[in-house]
């Protein structure tokens, strides 16, 4: 009789504890994936994530010799049905931490155990699971540094990744009722995904290659370079980590090894490890505050007088605000499904503080357009920028889009890539094209208000207004 191995956000075979446990059972393995939009509620995967999922599942299915059984629907019904259809005696999975997944999984676990079916769950996605990290008095941390330094690292280094399994898998034949990946309708009907293919290779192999590239070319200089969107210092591992194509343990220990081999990159390595720590912090916040994606952590923000302005929201979404660094970021997101972290902070600050639009509007747009859309990281980061989250940026920290651009994209290379209509402007004017003399604009082929929009708000006035409103809380 087989065991079911239920893949969820762990689309890999290496360092996959559920896969190891299934192998050790000695039974044939029935690998399963379920697209469960029924239980996801508000947080059904967005369009960009679906694109990624399609390719990641294709890659996983290949590694499993085409045996991945695919289903769509309510997992609380499908898993018990599969157990019965295949006469499985156990189900293995790796734990997920989104509130809706926790509720669903515990329901399934209870039902299976009542039918004497063994359930074994493991940790594949986090370095330290949320319930293992708390303050001395047992309450959860609210500030990142003690969370990471004392709560996480105080418990010792994260475990090393599992080695390759000793057992050779025997796969149970694919069930006839199983769907084909194409039946999940994950790919867009309008082909907006060309730019995605150019830069991403979803799947376990692509994830390992990405980590290798980062170790060879990005890690040295990461601490400084990670702030510059035109540099190649960041890892771009976020979608691979989100879908579990690589484990955070693998990334952690690979960077540790690199630091041991080259002591000059110690501060760069430490900085990268602490970013993995921020990911842990987000998961801890989501676990302890299940309404993190919809409710401000600081209650005083609950009745905040946000504006409603569909035109401004649309201009932001389309990258047509008239602020080049904001527009470049929003177009990078649209074209590639990803945005550099520094620019995510700039565009988020612009939406919340210059346009006074609710952070949840930005969170929803990111949810639909990011290939790394992640409930914990997305919600915690939006709340952080809005100033209503845990350990958040104070409300008076309002990014000036011009100064941010000049500081972190001084030559304007990032803007030239994503806002081609400004590409011919000299660096001196590229961050505030409306200040360029008429002859410079003409020479660069820019017609303000026609080929490129005038700023949709005046930053200084918007900043003063935001400060006054935030102060009134
Ligand atoms: P690297 O700099 O190479 O970092 C390595 C890994 O550490 C990342 O892959 C990520 O898993 C983690 N990490 C890095 N920075 C952060 C951070 N600030 N918070 C939490 N984890 C972090 N990240 C997501 O994965 N999904 C999201 O939906 C998401 N939404 C965001 C929304 C906003 C408004 C902001 C400001 C940030 C958001 N982030 C999100 C966090 C961060 O921007 C991305 O994780 C990062 O840009 C991914 O690029 P990278 O893999 O090259 O990062």
Question: Does some domain include residue 169?
Answer: no
404 CB less than 6 Å from ligand 1?
Answer: no
Residues 270, 323 share a domain: no
Residues 120, 132 share a domain: no
Confidence class for position 189, pLDDT limits 50, 70, 90: confident
Residues 319, 227 share a domain: no
Work out the average pLDDT over 143-160.
Answer: 96
**Can you tell me whether residue 13 is helix, strand or coil?**
coil
Could you give the number of structural domains in the chain? Answer: 3
**What distance in Å separates the CA atoms of residue 49 and residue 366, rounded to the nearest whole number?**
10
Work out the average pLDDT over 89-117.
Answer: 98
Confidence class for position 173, pLDDT limits 50, 70, 90: confident
Of 255, 288, 321, the position where a domain reaches its end is 288
Mutate to test the pocket of ligand 1, among 279, 391, 414 (most ligand atoms within 8 A of CB): 279
Predicted confidence (pLDDT) per residue in 407-453, tens digit: 999 999 999 999 999 999 999 999 999 999 999 999 999 999 999 99
Q: Does position 190 have pLDDT exceeding 90, yes or no?
A: no
Residues 100, 84 share a domain: yes
Work out the average pLDDT over 244-252.
Answer: 98
Work out the average pLDDT over 82-92.
Answer: 97
**What distance in Å separates the CA atoms of residue 141 and residue 134, rounded to the nearest whole number?**
6
Give the β-pairing of 3-7 and 90-94: parallel
Question: Does some domain include residue 333?
Answer: yes
List strands edge to edge, sheet with 3-7: 69-72, 29-35, 3-7, 90-94, 118-122
Question: Does some domain include residue 177?
Answer: no
Question: Does some domain include residue 191?
Answer: no
pLDDT cut 90: percent of the chain above it: 92
Residue with CA at minimum distance from ligand 1 atom 45: 238
Work out the average pLDDT over 276-283.
Answer: 98
Torsion of CA 140, 144, 147, 148, to 10 degrees: 150
Of 124, 147, 175, the position where a domain reaches its end is 124
Spacing, Cα 238 to ligand 1 middle (Å): 6
Q: Identify the CATH number of the domain in which residue 85 sits.
A: 3.40.50.620
Residues 263, 148 share a domain: yes
Question: Does some domain include residue 183?
Answer: no
Q: What is the pLDDT of residue 176?
A: 84
Spacing, Cα 458 to ligand 1 middle (Å): 29
Query: Who has greater pLDDT, 175 or 325?
Result: 325
Q: Identify the CATH number of the domain in which residue 140 sits.
A: 1.25.40.80
Residue with CA at minimum distance from ligand 1 atom 50: 236
241 CB less than 6 Å from ligand 1?
Answer: yes
Residues 445, 424 share a domain: yes
Q: What is the pLDDT of residue 166?
A: 80
Taking 3-state DSSP, the helix, strand and coil percentages for the chain, each rounded to the nearest 5, stand at 55, 5, 40
Among 371, 330, 318, 342, CA closest to 196: 371
Work out the average pLDDT over 343-362.
Answer: 98
Q: What is the pLDDT of residue 165?
A: 83
Q: What is the pLDDT of residue 393?
A: 78
215 CB less than 6 Å from ligand 1?
Answer: no
Spacing, Cα 379 to ligand 1 middle (Å): 11
pTM: 0.98
Of 104, 124, 144, the position where a domain reaches its end is 124
Question: Does some domain include residue 172?
Answer: no
Question: Does some domain include residue 174?
Answer: no
Q: Identify the CATH number of the domain in which residue 335 sits.
A: 1.10.579.10
Q: Does position 52 have pLDDT exceeding 90, yes or no?
A: yes
Q: What is the pLDDT of residue 472?
A: 85
Confidence class for position 395, pLDDT limits 50, 70, 90: confident
Task: Return the DSSP state at 290.
Answer: T
Q: Does position 392 have pLDDT exceeding 80, yes or no?
A: no
Place of tokens 């993995």: 276
Q: What is the pLDDT of residue 79?
A: 98
422 burial class (0-12, 13-18, 19+ CB within 10 angstroms)? buried
Q: CA angle 132-137-139, nearest 5°?
A: 55
Q: Does position 375 have pLDDT exceeding 90, yes or no?
A: yes
Which residues constitute the domain of residue 412? 299-471
Residues 156, 120 share a domain: no
Spacing, Cα 381 to ligand 1 middle (Å): 8
Work out the average pLDDT over 245-254.
Answer: 98
| Closest atom of ligand 1 relative to the 238 alpha carbon | 9
Confidence class for position 194, pLDDT limits 50, 70, 90: confident
Place of tokens 């990111």: 366
Those residues whose C-beta lies under 8 Å from the C-beta of residue 153, and which sit 6 or more positions away, are none
Residues 459, 406 share a domain: yes
Residues 365, 317 share a domain: yes
Residues 265, 326 share a domain: no
Question: Does some domain include residue 193?
Answer: no
Q: Does position 31 have pLDDT exceeding 80, yes or no?
A: yes
Q: Does position 167 have pLDDT exceeding 90, yes or no?
A: no
Work out the average pLDDT over 377-385.
Answer: 97
Residues 151, 58 share a domain: no
Work out the average pLDDT over 88-114.
Answer: 98
Residues 389, 277 share a domain: no
């Amino acid at each position: 009789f087989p065991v079911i191995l239920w893949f969820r956000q762990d689309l890999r075979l290496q360092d996959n504890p559920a896969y190891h446990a299934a192998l050790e059972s000695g039974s044939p393995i029935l690998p399963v994936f379920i697209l469960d939009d029924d239980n996801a509620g508000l947080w059904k995967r967005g369009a960009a994530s679906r694109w990624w999922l399609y390719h990641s599942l294709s890659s996983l299915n290949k590694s499993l010799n085409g045996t991945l059984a695919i289903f769509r629907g309510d997992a609380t019904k499908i898993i018990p049905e599969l157990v019965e259809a295949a006469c499985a005696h156990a189900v293995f999975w790796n734990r997920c931490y989104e509130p809706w997944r926790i509720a669903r999984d515990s329901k399934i676990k209870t039902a299976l155990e009542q039918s004497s079916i063994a359930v074994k769950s493991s940790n594949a996605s986090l370095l330290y699971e949320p319930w293992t990290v708390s303050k001395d008095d047992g309450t959860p941390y609210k500030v990142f540094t003690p969370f990471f330094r004392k709560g996480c690292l105080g418990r010792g280094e994260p475990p090393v990744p599992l080695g390759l399994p000793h057992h050779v898998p025997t796969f149970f034949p694919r069930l006839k009722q199983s769907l084909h990946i194409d039946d999940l309708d994950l790919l867009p009907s309008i082909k907006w995904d060309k730019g995605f293919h150019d830069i991403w290779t979803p799947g376990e192999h692509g994830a390992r290659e990405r980590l290798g590239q980062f170790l060879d070319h990005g890690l040295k200089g990461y601490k400084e370079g990670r702030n510059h969107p035109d540099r190649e210092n960041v890892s771009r591992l976020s979608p691979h980590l989100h879908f579990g194509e690589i484990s955070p343990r693998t990334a952690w220990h690979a960077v540790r090894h690199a630091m041991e081999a080259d002591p000059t990159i110690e501060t760069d390595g430490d900085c990268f490890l602490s970013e993995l720590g921020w990911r842990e912090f987000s998961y801890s916040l989501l676990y302890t505050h299940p309404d993190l994606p919809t409710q401000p952590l600081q209650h005083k923000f609950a009745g905040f007088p946000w504006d409603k302005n569909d035109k401004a929201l649309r201009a932001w979404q389309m990258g047509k605000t008239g602020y080049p660094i904001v527009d470049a970021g929003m177009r990078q997101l649209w074209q590639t499904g990803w945005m550099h972290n520094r620019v995510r902070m700039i565009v988020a600050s612009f939406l919340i503080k210059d346009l006074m639009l609710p952070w949840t509007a930005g969170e929803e747009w990111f949810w639909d357009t990011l290939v790394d859309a992640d409930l914990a990281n997305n919600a915690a980061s939006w709340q952080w920028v809005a100033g209503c989250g845990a350990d958040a940026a104070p409300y008076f920290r309002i990014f000036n889009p011009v100064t941010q651009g000049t500081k972190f994209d001084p030559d304007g290379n990032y803007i030239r890539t994503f806002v081609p209509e400004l590409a011919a402007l000299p660096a001196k004017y590229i961050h505030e094209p409306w200040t360029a003399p008429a002859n410079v604009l003409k020479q660069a082929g820019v017609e303000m208000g026609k080929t490129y929009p005038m700023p949709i708000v005046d930053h200084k006035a918007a900043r003063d207004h935001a400060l006054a409103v935030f102060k009134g809380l």
